[in-house]
Amino acid sequence: MIAHVDVNSAYASFERVFNPALETVPLVVLSNNDGMVVAASREAKALGLDLGKPWFELRPTAARSGVVAVSSNYELYGDMSRRVMEVLERFTHDLDVYSIDEAFLTVDRRTSADPEAMTRLGHDIKDALRRLLGVPVCVGIAQTRTLAKLSNRAAKKIDDLNGVCVWPAIDPGWREKLMRALPVSEVWGIASRLERRLGGHGVLTVWDLATVDPAHIRALFNVVVMRTALELRGIACIGPEEDHTGKKQQIIVSRSFSEKVTTTATMRQALSIYAQQAATRLVKHSQVAHTLTTFAGTSHWAQDKHHPTITVRLPFPTADPVQLTRAAHRLLPQIVEGARYARAGLLLTDLTPAGAQLPFEIFRSPHEDAGIATLIDRVQKKTGKNSLGLGYGGFRPGPSWQMKRTMLTPRATTHWAELTTVRA
């Protein structure tokens, strides 16, 4: 069985941990340059503040309804995400981090055989994250990833489930009712364009897709849609590392190692591979990243626990594997020889569409080989960011990639100067 854990309105929830006053307030989190709404709390969604809407359009009405808006605090979200995953690792031997706020956990065989045990596991996970981190999550447990995600949707939508939905533990009649009620777009990987095409063939609800002849689906669409249909029947055909959804706000590449990594050399290799994979995903979605968080961790059961992490603000948004690899390697000085690392990963945030920065990258690359980038970096470190730069952009960064975060909350877990204040 697979458990899917997903943080409720993740960015908003992470903000609320450090500012309880925001607990009941409709809260929206804005994208780069405070342009768009990238996350909204339940209260904000209820007011019709949807994701992807430009903030300047919403601002006048939002202010009147008491909405609080904050800039994306990538440092905070990255660190809280790492903590969430660290807690989840205590519940499985195989954690597949799918994004900044969701992960798939392999449920052990004994628990998988017992619906009651699975329900307990779901609540244990949910309670642990609430207690240890103050983060609310929902849990879906089912035979396949697609069904686990669907169960999670149910857990989020239906209050009676208390945030945990174990698919096999639910009455089949009720399951059918639910699947008939949900549009096919609620299924993982079915985007709106595909939904329209499916609709043209009479596949409107989740139930339709689950009961249609898979061979027929394959003939009409492709093998990916067929696999999704099979997954809805409880036949697992989508494995880890498969990314069959569209554009993202963040990309994460992280897996538990099959064998513990104990040397810096091996870690360097693993991080290099992850960086290449991350770059490939960026290119696939025509995106570039501006922030890279790299992390590694020993097992929760290890005697000497060690969880190094580093967040690197890339000099400019990039999908260049060389750049990303180099940035990922900045974790290496923290790696302790002989420690037994069970996992490592890369988290790319602050993603923007590729293209705008292209001329600049070409301009920069030849100089990199000559070591000029390193030299500039050293001079800038000594004498300040604006003392020396490369070409146009190096000196005075353009507005598109110098992020404006005017409503930034404190980076409470990564910066000493910005710790949360408690009244004494």
Partner 1 sequence: MLALSPRPASTATISPTSTNALRVAPVSVAAGFPSPAQDYYDGAIDLTEMLVHDHAATFIVRAAGDSMTEAGISDGDELLVDRSKTPRHGDVVVAVLDGELTVKRLELGPHGVVLRAENAHHPDITVPELSDLQVWGVVTYCIHHLRGRR
Of the candidates 268, 274, 284, 267, the one whose C-alpha atom is nearest the C-alpha of residue 252 is 274
Give me the least distance between CB of 274 and partner 1, in Å please.
21
Which class for 199: exposed (0-12), middle (13-18), buried (19 or more C-beta within 10 A)?
middle
- For partner 1, the binding residues in 23-42 under the rule CB under 8 A are 23
Window 265-304: contact mask with partner 1 (x via CB under 8 A): --------------------------------------xx
DSSP helix/strand/coil, 54: strand
Q: Please give the structure tokens belonging to residue 121.
A: 């596991």
Measured from the CB atom, the residue of 12 and 194 that comes closer to partner 1 is 12
Determine if 339 is a binding residue for partner 1 (CB under 8 A): yes
Bridge partner list, 256? 343
Q: In the range 85-104, which residues lie near partner 1 by CB under 8 A?
A: 86-87
Q: Report, in Å, the least distance between residue 143 CB and partner 1.
A: 29
Q: Which two tokens stand for residue 270?
A: 């693993």
Examine residue 204 and tell whether it contacts partner 1 (CB under 8 A): no
Q: Which two tokens stand for residue 111?
A: 């628990």
C-beta closer to partner 1: residue 165 or 312: 312
**Least distance between partner 1 and beta carbon 340 (Å):** 12
Q: Cα dihedral sign for 407, 413, 418, 420?
A: positive
Structure tokens at 237: 């055909």
Give min distance, CB of 338 to partner 1, in A. 7
Position 307 contacts partner 1 (CB under 8 A): yes
Contact 424, 417 (CB under 8 A): no
Q: Is 83 in the site for partner 1 (CB under 8 A)?
A: yes
Cβ-based nearer residue to partner 1, 298 or 357: 298
Segment lying near partner 1 (by CB under 8 A), choices 19-27, 31-39, 181-189, 381-389 = 19-27
Kindly give, in sequence order, each residue whose CB lies less than 8 Å from that of residue 287, ignoring residues fewer than 6 positions away: 247, 248, 251, 319, 351, 352, 353, 354
Which among 326, 415, 327 has a CA at the least distance from the CA of 73? 415
By CB under 8 A, is residue 5 in contact with partner 1?
no
